[in-house]
Amino acid sequence: MSAPLLEASGLDLRFGAVRALDGVSLDIHPGEVVAIVGESGSGKSTLLRVLAGMTAPQAGQVLYRDASGLRQEIGALSEAAKRRLMRSEWGFVHQNARDGLRMGISAGGNIGERLMAAGGRNYAAIRAAAADWMARVEMDPARIDEAPRNFSGGMQQRLQIARCLVTEPRLVFMDEPTGGLDVSVQARLLDLIRGLVAELGLAVFFVTHDIAAARLLAHRIIVMRRGRIVEEGLADRVLDDPRHEYTQLLVASVLSA
Ligand SMILES: Nc1ncnc2c1ncn2[C@@H]1O[C@H](COP(=O)(O)OP(=O)(O)OP(=O)(O)O)[C@@H](O)[C@H]1O
């Protein structure tokens, strides 16, 4: 197997008396999709933010192997270096599309801006790429000049995904990417994400409450409870043969829902 893209070890983070992360270690390999599941408050979003360098852990480290093969400790990078990484090799899809879009500029501008941040300068080519990406996420490219507020929640989420993927990052973090959307919209969006992730060979960490989404998208599942990893393994194994009592409860609560 190829060397890990990202390796986290011994991550600890407390908020007062709450241990949001308690000795978390994990890794992800190129092209691997890892779902982080667990009940509300188990530390999923905190873990994602720490892995993406948005929040510093109180102990432990996150190492990232960049496109040139260099292993970098995320906590030791300057803010500018982290922003560069986020513009080029990484992407982040927020639960709320508004957190990942610029609401004041057009749909095409939202996608094109990320290409320009990555060094694109040819306006016609950027606009063509933006239109192409709108089509890839099943949006109407004729609406390229419309502002995000004109689009439904599901369409805004598609736009956020297009903005994130247009630069073909190596590693994408997704925090409940279909949370808050209607169930029918969620299903189509999950299908779309699954297709794009496979086509681009992306490595993805994605946080979800939704065991069905984890089954659909993930190769591997990490189960968190009270800031700790209680179980991890291949998605089918974890869901069909959960070993930890807590995972059994999570899976059973979905089956009986
Ligand atoms: N900035 C913060 N200040 C104080 N406590 C926090 C902060 N962020 C998270 N916590 C606490 O840390 C714990 C883990 O929170 P986190 O948001 O990571 O859980 P989660 O599994 O993502 O939950 P949810 O599914 O509800 O988003 C919770 O008890 C939460 O209240």
Helix (H, G, I), strand (E, B) or coil at 231: strand
In tens, the pLDDT along 164-205 reads: 999 999 999 999 999 888 888 888 999 999 999 999 999 999
Distance from Cα 88 to the centre of ligand 1, integer Å: 28
> What does the DSSP 8-state code read for residue 202?
-
Task: Tell me the torsion sign for CA atoms 236, 242, 247, 248.
Answer: positive
Phi/psi for 101 (5° steps) reads -115, 160
State whether the beta carbon of 180 lies less than 6 angstroms from ligand 1.
no
Residue nearest to atom 28 of ligand 1 (CA): 41
CA pair distance 152, 182, nearest whole angstrom: 11
pTM: 0.94
Residue nearest to atom 3 of ligand 1 (CA): 15
Say what the ipTM of the complex is.
Answer: 0.96
Contact (Cβ atoms closer than 8 angstroms) between residue 25 and residue 19: no
CA pair distance 54, 108, nearest whole angstrom: 27
The closest alpha carbon to 64, from 119, 12, 9, belongs to 9
The closest alpha carbon to 98, from 135, 41, 147, 36, belongs to 147
Distance from Cα 1 to the centre of ligand 1, integer Å: 34
CA pair distance 34, 221, nearest whole angstrom: 6
**Which atom belonging to ligand 1 lies closest to the Cα atom of 49?**
18
In tens, the pLDDT along 196-252 reads: 999 999 999 999 988 889 999 999 999 999 999 999 999 999 999 999 999 999 888
